[in-house]
Structure 1
Amino acid sequence: MISRRTLLSAAGASALAPLALPARAQAWPQKPIRVVVTFAAGGSSDIVARLLQPGLQEKLGQPVIVDNKPGAGGTIGGADVAKAAADGYTLLLSNTAPISISPFMLAQPTYDPVKSFVHTAYIGAVPNVFVVHPAVPSKTVGELVAWIKAQTKPVNYGSGGVGSIGHIVGELFKKEYGLNMEHVPYRGSGPMHTDLLGGTLQFAIDTLTQNVPYIKDGKLRGLAVTSRARMALAPEIPTVAEAGYPKLLAENFLGISAPAGTPKDVVDKVHRATAEVLARPDIVKRLEDMGVALTKMSQPEFDGFVAKQVAEWAPAVKASGAKLN
């Protein structure tokens, strides 16, 4: 026989059950979302993240916090997100360095660029530019090669950091053409420009975006962009192929990635919110003005794009001989 106490307990549990359901089925997001940027403030990843931040906050209904975690070619930030809870509250402003390059420079990679993430929303790509201080007499890449070979000491070249595209392109440039060069890594483009504009550093391979104002003001000279076609942002600068150096073609992609295992409905919401922000004419103009070539991709297409990037860059990284200590 069932006692009166048992019946009351069962009735109480039944009455409370509906109240507990909403707590388990709360719609995402319910708290601030952190977007990790793998380079210091002032670089292209940081600029893009902060440009999208207000729109993502509006679409998702929660604060979006940009968290700069530079270092180790972007792998510090990449590992932070790869190891985070797969709940959508920690995202990565993914780019070529921590996804396609830096993991292959480590003796023991801290994450797998394909398996550790679900690549959620593609944004676009921006090329690098060979840029020199005006004191360097070179006006073309060919003249730069000749100038470097004429120097009695190694020529320092700067990049936004170890494992950046600028670093790898520089190492390929050095190896392919027998150049006496030494890499000077910075924690982002901002710190590098201090030395480059001051003449302490004479040559750099860096993202086009943040160099255009200096090139237009005559403070720096752009020799070639690493894209397939000339950029509307700086149409006077030839491509590396036009300059006679097609092997130096390299573009830095930008996107948003989440830890592997993030629920599909969360991934879909991030993808949709990003696409809606990227559809705004003012955002499109600002990104294009920065030299970002926008391309629409579905989430599965972005996953496939990353897998292809990794397959293409891994051999180039190994051929460059570049390492992360």
Structure 2
Amino acid sequence: MSRNLTAVAGVFALMGALGSAHAQDKVPGSDDAYLTKPVRVVVPFEAGGSTDILGRLAAQILTEQLGQRFIVENVGGAGGAIGAAQVAKAAPNGYTLLVGSPGSITVNPHIKANLSYDPLRDFEPVALIGDTPAAVFVANGSPITSLQQLISQAKAKPDTLTFGSAGVGSFFHLAGELFKESAGVDIRHVPYRGMAPALVDLLAGRTDVMFGSVQGYLANRGKVKALAVGSPRRSSLAPEVPTADELGLRGFYTGSWTGLLAPARTPAAIIDKLNAAMNKGIQEPAMVKRFADLGMESQALTAQAFGKFIATEFAETGKLVRKAQIKSE
């Protein structure tokens, strides 16, 4: 769960500045040697979702920065595992990239049997695209009006309150399990086939709370009330919402992220070139606004920092999955 992104970014800030300044120097003549044809960017989910939207933004950035076409291809199925497996087996030449997110990289390996790829062994981290903190929210008409009230009710009546998610093992499910662990409460999980039906039942009062994202909160502002965000500091996109820390709940740090990965053994010069282009593009004012409009925050990380972040997320997600005894349906 992405509680570690802020810390990783701070540690590697200087490294990122140096890497961005010199990345192009590491690839002499690389436009001729590398980008001689379009690059395939695999989104391991169907078109229209948040991963797809961010993947297309990344493809746009790289196309504009590097002068070659980066073409998105949606390869959905098995919670992102099919598309991720395709990229893991692709030639490590920089012409096939994966748009990764928690589901395909840090969750699937812990809940799916016989997965055909190892996210830490079979991919080279390239660049973070964007991230959004978790948000705890209820329907506007809910009798629950504060985080403290939610926790108090859950403790008074264990396994009575319910939270909906996009399915077993989804980010929204894991965020709920982390909340339960952090708050010491028992709230019953109700899995749905996607966030849309889960939100419908929340608004209708058939479930009590949802552990979504700031992105989801902003998209439904006016219908839901956010009680807290799961980040060390308030989100710049929803500064009116307090952090769980401010309200006395320690340890609830989580969020959803999206990033680019390449097959293992892709040359470092290619990784550096792609990383520098992404980091430059996401910091341009028009793109910063575009990310904010989507409820996402962009943050430039070196490939090494992004890799460290993924490794930590992988380990912490595994601990949470084992403790909550989550298994794929």
**Short-chain TM bin:** 0.7 to 0.9
1:57 equivalent in structure 2: 63
CA distance in 2, matches of 1:237, 1:167: 21
CA RMSD of aligned residues (A): 2.9
2:241 paired residue number: 237
Give runs of aligned pairs for residues 18-57 of structure 1, distance below 5 A: 27-57=33-63
**Is the 8 Å Cα contact of residues 100 and 113 (structure 1) preserved in structure 2?**
yes
Give the Cα–Cα distance (whole angstroms) in 2 for the partners of residues 294 and 71 of structure 1: 27
What residue in structure 1 maps to residue 12 of structure 2?
A: none
Q: Is the 8 A contact 2:130 2:257 kept in 1?
A: yes
Other structure's SS at 1:142 match: helix
Please, which of 139, 150, 157 is the counterpart of residue 133 of structure 1? 139
Q: How many residues align?
A: 297
Contact kept, 8 Å, 2:63 with 2:69, in 1: the verdict is yes
Aligned residue identity for 2:173: H
Describe the shift of the 1:291–1:87 C-alpha distance in structure 2 as closer, same or farther (beyond 3 A): same
Deviation at 1:101, TM superposition (A): 2.6
Amino acid across the alignment from 2:281: V
Of 196, 206, 223 in structure 1, the residue corresponding to residue 212 of structure 2 is 206
Q: The residue matched to 2:132 in structure 1 has which SS? A: strand
Deviation at 1:39, TM superposition (A): 4.4
Is 2:266 the partner of 1:262?
yes
**Selected match of 1:279 from 260, 277, 283:** 283
- Is 2:98 the partner of 1:92? yes
The residue number in structure 2 matching 1:223 is: 227
Query: 2:37·2:68 contact (CA, 8 Å) conserved in 1?
Result: no
2:170 maps to 164
In the aligned structure 1, how far is the partner of 2:118 from the partner of 2:81?
A: 11
TM-score by length of 1: 0.79
Gaps of 5+ in 1: 1-24
Q: What residue is the counterpart of 1:123 in the other structure? A: 129
Superimposed CA distance per residue, residues 202-224 of structure 1 (whole angstroms, 9 cap, x where no aligned partner)? 43211211321322xx2111111
The answer to whether structure 1 residue 75 and structure 2 residue 81 are counterparts is yes
The match for 2:193 among 186, 196, 201 is 186
Q: Distance in 1 between matches of 2:269 and 2:254?
A: 33
How far off is 1:86 after superposition? 2.5
Contact 2:282 2:300 survives alignment (8 Å): no
- Say whether the 8 Å CA contact 2:167–2:173 is kept in structure 1: yes
Question: What SS does the aligned partner of 2:134 have?
Answer: strand
Q: Distance in 2 between matches of 1:127 and 1:263?
A: 32
Q: CA deviation at 1:154?
A: 4.7
Report how far residue 158 of structure 1 moved: 2.3
Q: Say which of 292, 307, 311 aligns to 2:311.
A: 307
- Shift of the 300–89 alpha-carbon distance from structure 1 to 2, 3 Å rule, reads same
CA–CA distance in structure 2, aligned partners of residues 69 and 303 of structure 1: 24
Q: What is the CA deviation profile of residues 262-285 of structure 1, one whole-angstrom value per residue up to 9, with x for unaligned ones? A: 233432332232123213210012
Q: In the aligned structure 2, how far is the partner of 1:324 from the partner of 1:125?
A: 25
Work out the CA distance in 2 between the residues paired with 1:111 and 1:283: 33
Aligned identity (percent) is 34
Give the Å deviation of 1:258.
Answer: 0.9
Normalising by structure 2, report the TM-score. 0.78
Look up the equivalent residue of 1:234 and give its one-letter code.
Answer: A
For 2:283, the aligned partner's letter is: A
Q: CA deviation at 1:200?
A: 5.0
- Structure 2 unaligned residues grouped into runs of 5+: 1-30
Going from structure 1 to structure 2, the CA distance change for 1:169 and 1:213 (only over 3 Å counts) comes to closer
Q: Judge conservation of contact 1:105–1:323 (CA < 8 Å) in 2.
A: yes
Task: Name the counterpart of 1:7.
Answer: none
Post-superposition shift, 1:256?
Answer: 0.5
**Would you say the 8 A contact 2:163–2:187 is kept in 1?**
no
User: Structure 1 CA distance, aligned partners of 2:136 and 2:166?
Assistant: 13
Q: CA deviation at 1:30?
A: 4.1
